[in-house]
Chains A and B, each alone.
Chain A
């Protein structure tokens, strides 16, 4: 029955929103103050789309209740991923994981390769995996790389993934494996819940709206997504993802290299230095080989055959160039010898011993010493015409590496291949949330950056294979991370009114209130109904108050995806970070709050002096109060001294 009300209110909220925002666009824009009016209407449109996506999510809210019975005899690996978390913490989780009821094997995936942890794991009968020699000098891909590495070292049909701080309930597998009886289910995600968070949750760590109605709503659209921990995955699905990804990537790379190769070789030929010695001839062979490769691929030859052909031809040419060099060298030596004889009458016995051999030619032709290395651009093209993934430790990478939030990206790809996911709404692991502002901000920034990376690299709106509902569900999460830009406008608009007396709306007529108030009210009602008693105010506050974080995430992720700039990625520390002046970190918010208060004072003064419209002042005062109330969450966050300290003083 409650789903009926959620749907009704959701539909009405969207209707009221279109009614309001449509009217704002068409009939109420104050074009004279376009510089604030246009940003505001864009922000309002942003919010309308956000509400619509939320209502759509709630439309299919799915409460699964009791899980299906657990099938016996499945093989399961439990992975505990760690990088630099305290060893005690990792071992506590490992031992809890070992105690899980359903038969399984527990593994510590130690990206820090700590001998002490290895020793403790072995002592306690827990498996230990760290990166092998093949990773030396290769991109490590953070947690995705850690998991991919372990996937190749283990065999279980199912994988339970746990962050180092997530202590599992012994029943976690018994409560979730039943869902995999359905052949197409690849993922079961359970909530993330933190035990070191006080009632008031000053840092907004618990996400009751997300690990609840939002994931349940997405589940209804078969779009519940992987959140990195407390989830069970089907190995077969991940391996399929890795293989398909490898084939696609290789094919695309080879085609691109063959296409681009032509221009690269021509440019190299034009350079004067390439005219020297054998370089020109070598380049012409490369050109011919690339052309032959293109033709063959065009007429349906396999990538393996084509790359073999191209590499073979080029290798032969390199070898003959090296052989020519060595022959010339031998000829020079003979002349030097003749010269010595002429001068001294006796041959230099050292020279007689020198006999350049085939082995030398072979070695000097090998990739790392090849003369082709001198023509870097050409070498790079040829390095791409291969079925190996040079520059990667592993050719098959099941967990996506396109984003720092590999989890979301991976589940989106699974969905695109037709796999199903389940959100099981029961707390089956309890973890540690950040206990200070700085760490919390780092974590939020990383999530937002990762989400934006996926949006820009592999948009759910375009990825083939997703249903419309799935596209919108993934997009909804990405869209919500754009909130920072709208927040700036919502924070600026009341200040603009108080100081300059400019309204972005033509007039605050009864028409305005008749359209705006129902939208606002229905919107809040939808939230309340959807949350079903969960505390959502913290989330709303942080959505506005962390605007600098959200904006930074968007700009850095865009710079990363479009211009290859590093994100400045940091692992979220589990231990409390000391130091770091809170006011310094929160300077943008402090400045905004100060401006708002000052502007409010100016507005009040103008009203008293009879210079300001009373209704406009009232509306903007309420608006400002909302802004300040939202920002006020940061005061508690900045003063929060961590969970233990908090309990000690209470």
Chain B
């Protein structure tokens, strides 16, 4: 999985393409840890290119949320595909990581 990071002023957008699974999950953690280290703590993960997520991927996602919150920011997700949506719903994670329809809307309210 490859990640692209864009500073949108006010928040930072991360886009990952591929499958967020046991193999690629550590990469997501690294990328987010690095971004937070550089002072970006308002993060939006654009999941348009993420076709699949497994339990490890989900774990990484929550780990990243925790890291962002600990740094005083937040992690939000946008453009969630159907399989990812199903996994979020199954674990009731969609109540915490509410998917936004687009990257722009994620921090639109604040």
Contacts and interface: CB of A to CB of B under 8 A. Distances in A.
Interface of A: 273-274, 276-279, 282, 321-322, 325-326, 328-329, 332-333, 335-336, 339-340, 350-351, 353-356, 359-361, 363-365, 369-375
A335 B66 contact: yes
A563 B19 CA distance: 30
26 contacts: A273-B23, A276-B25, A277-B25, A277-B56, A321-B56, A325-B59, A326-B55, A326-B59, A328-B59, A329-B62, A332-B62, A336-B62, A336-B66, A350-B95, A350-B96, A351-B96, A354-B93, A354-B95, A364-B87, A370-B54, A371-B22, A373-B19, A373-B21, A374-B19, A374-B22, A375-B23
A353 B87 CA distance: 16
Which of B23, B52, B65, B70: most chain A Cβ within 10 A? B23
Question: How big is chain B's contact interface, by range?
Answer: 20 to 34
A350 B98 CA distance: 11
B92 A325 contact: no
Contacts of B26: 273, 276-277
Interface string B42-76: 00000000001011101100110110011000000
Contacts of B21: 371, 373-374
Which of A326, A353, A374: most chain B Cβ within 10 A? A374
Nearest to B53: A369
B58 to A, nearest CB: 6
Interface of B is mostly: helix
A356 to B, nearest CB: 5
Interface of B: 19, 21-26, 52, 54-56, 58-59, 62-63, 65-66, 69-70, 83, 87, 90-93, 95-96
Contacts of B55: 321-322, 325-326, 329, 361, 364-365, 369, 371
A364 B59 contact: no
Contacts of B92: 353-356
Nearest to B64: A332
Contacts of A277: 22, 25-26, 56
A354 B22 contact: no
A360 B90 contact: yes
A372 B21 CA distance: 9
Contacts of A329: 55, 58-59, 62, 91
Contact of B54 (A350, A356, A369): A369
A375 B22 contact: yes
A370 B31 CA distance: 24
B22 A279 contact: yes
A371 B59 CA distance: 12
Given A321-B55, A356-B91, A363-B90, A333 B22 contact: no
A373 to B, nearest CB: 6
A509 B81 CA distance: 83
Contacts of A325: 55-56, 58-59
Given A278-B56, A325-B55, A339 B69 contact: yes
B84 to A, nearest CB: 11
Contacts of A365: 55
B22 to A, nearest CB: 4
A369 B25 CA distance: 14
Given A273-B24, A360-B90, A375-B23, 4 more contacts: A321-B55, A370-B54, A373-B52, A374-B22
A361 B55 CA distance: 8
Nearest to B19: A374
